[in-house]
């Protein structure tokens, strides 16, 4: 049987007087559960799988990090010898966890409604083919019940079943932190959807990430990127950098520069002063879709979450309602925990 990477896994049910634990350490599963006194592993051979029924509180601990989950838990070894730990969860229970993990306006009830619809639409979009919510670094943070709040759980009930659609098809409800005054064209970033067209966003100036500054020495820039100047070669429709001049005739992708220099956005200008380069920018994130800081200001000023959707998607997106059902979706927890206990979701950076 294939050896597993070294980590410690432990499960227990809050409702149980005698907690159930799983241990995997020293690179080998060597003492997996006892089920009515019967080991699920004997001599390193899997003789059974283990399933915990649907509940509101299952604690999963891996490498000393514990998170509490709703739903059912299943554990099995696949044909390749990999240990799988799966959280089976209803859509609305997953929304309760995801909604508070979306940043900005955690006490703004109207914004929470918007975020719950973003979460629900994205989860269903990801899972629509095979009911598996994939291990992706492009969307949310899933930590089960740990991220839930009473306010979010209560407010999200007002949008149960609501989804964002275009021509009766689910959209990808992109969001970012602050647009810097102008949202981005989806076509420029490989997302040619009609609802992703640039919007002049005058509300962005009220957000704390509307403007930002950075500085870096030429020596540091050279060691990081092999250049001593930040010259933008190509811009998006909204004026964000798409590429920079590299060493010689090379071209450096703007997203790579953003990552290496830890820049909030690519809506920027650079200015050279002696041995230092000063970078002045606006906004945070790629600028696609909804600007959350703008939405926070809009809803705090009396606008509804429906107004926000219409504003950023130019009336091309509709809110449709899906009947709640008992269908379960699969979230593989082991992969999430291998990323320091989280799975990062929605394209906000």
pLDDT score, position 339: 34
Structure-model confidence comparison of residues 202 and 334, the more confident one: 202
Ranges 54-63, 318-327, 336-345: which has the least confidence:
336-345
Task: Determine the distance from the C-alpha atom of residue 327 to the mean position of all C-alpha atoms in its chain, rounded to a whole number.
Answer: 22
Per-residue pLDDT, 269:
96
Question: Can you give the pLDDT at residue 338?
Answer: 39
Q: What is the pLDDT of residues 137-149, one digit of tens each?
A: 345 677 788 889 9
CA-based max dimension of the chain: 74
Q: List, as one string, the DSSP characters of 261-325.
A: HT-S-S-EEEEEETTEEEEEEE-BS---SEEHHHHHHHHHTT--HHHHHHHHTTT--EEEE----
Whether the pLDDT of residue 27 is over 70: the answer is no
Distance CA 247, CA 255 (A): 17
Read off the pLDDT of residues 49-91 as tens digits, 9 standing for 90 and up: 667 778 888 777 665 567 788 888 877 766 665 667 788 899 9
What pLDDT is recorded for position 11? 53
Q: Please state the pTM of the whole predicted model.
A: 0.81
Instruction: Count Cα neighbours of 14 within 13 Å in the Cβ-side half-sphere.
Output: 13
Q: What is the mean pLDDT of the chain?
A: 80
Residue 22: per-residue pLDDT: 44
Question: Average pLDDT of 337-347?
Answer: 32
Higher-confidence residue of 143 and 197: namely: 197
295 closest CA partner among 207, 166, 195, 194 = 207
């Amino acid at each position: 049987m294939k050896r597993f990477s070294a980590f410690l896994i432990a499960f227990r049910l809050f409702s149980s007087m005698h907690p159930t634990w799983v241990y995997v350490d020293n690179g080998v599963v060597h003492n997996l559960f006892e089920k009515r006194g019967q080991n699920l592993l004997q001599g390193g051979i899997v003789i059974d799988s283990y399933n915990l029924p649907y509940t509101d509180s299952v604690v999963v601990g891996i490498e000393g990090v514990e998170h509490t989950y709703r739903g059912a838990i299943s554990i099995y070894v696949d044909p390749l010898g990999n240990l799988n730990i799966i959280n089976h969860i209803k859509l609305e229970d997953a929304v309760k966890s995801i909604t508070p993990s979306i940043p900005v306006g955690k006490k703004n009830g109207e914004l929470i409604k918007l975020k719950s619809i973003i979460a629900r639409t994205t989860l269903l979009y990801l899972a629509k083919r095979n009911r598996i919510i994939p291990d992706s670094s492009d969307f949310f943070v899933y930590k089960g019940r740990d991220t839930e709040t009473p306010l979010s759980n209560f407010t999200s009930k007002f949008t149960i079943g609501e989804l964002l659609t275009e021509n009766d098809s689910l959209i990808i409800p992109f969001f970012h932190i602050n647009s810097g005054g102008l949202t981005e064209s989806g076509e420029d970033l490989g997302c040619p959807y009609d609802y992703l067209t640039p919007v002049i966003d005058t509300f962005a100036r009220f957000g704390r990430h509307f403007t930002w500054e950075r500085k870096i020495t030429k020596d540091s820039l050279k060691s990081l990127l092999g250049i001593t100047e930040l010259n933008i070669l190509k811009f998006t429709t909204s004026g964000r950098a798409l590429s920079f001049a590299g060493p010689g005739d090379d071209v450096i992708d703007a997203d790579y520069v953003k990552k290496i220099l830890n820049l909030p956005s690519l809506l920027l200008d650079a200015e050279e002063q002696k041995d230092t380069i000063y970078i002045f920018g606006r906004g945070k994130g790629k600028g696609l879709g909804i600007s959350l800081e703008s939405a926070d200001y809009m809803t705090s000023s009396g606008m509804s979450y429906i107004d926000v959707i219409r504003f950023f998607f130019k009336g091309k997106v509709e809110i449709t309602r899906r009947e709640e059902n008992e269908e379960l979706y699969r979230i593989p927890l082991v992969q999430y925990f291998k990323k320091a206990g989280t799975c990062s979701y929605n394209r906000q950076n």
